Amino acid sequence: MTVIVTAVFYPQAGKKQELVQAMQRGIAAVHEEPGCELYSIHDAEDGTITMIEKWTTVQDLDTHGAGEAVGILNGDIAELIEKPTLVTRMTPLPSGTEAQGAI
């Protein structure tokens, strides 16, 4: 069963674009990790940056969480966020069509 994750990043005032730029090196590293099906950031209307992730297995996600790429990402953004990132793991509840009912 795949695992979906959201990670909400809270940029310091006036630092959103710097945060987005600082995330690029870590994102590129994560895209090379086994089991990474989706790892993309989005500009949320509340001023945060929200990452949506999809992992093939819980083990892949756990390995990612303890891996070097997360360390790179966290180090690169540490001075640009105002509070800790809110990370939420979710299990898909497919409904409707296969193409539209699950990420």
pLDDT in tens, 60-91: 999 999 999 999 999 999 999 999 999 999 99
Beta strands in the chain (DSSP E): 3-11, 36-43, 49-55, 81-90
Q: Which two tokens stand for residue 21?
A: 């730029």
Inform me whether the pLDDT recorded for 1 exceeds 90.
no
Q: What is the mean pLDDT of residues 24-42?
A: 98
Write down the pLDDT at residue 86: 98
Inform me whether the pLDDT recorded for 15 exceeds 90.
yes
Give the pTM.
Answer: 0.94
Write down the pLDDT at residue 55: 98
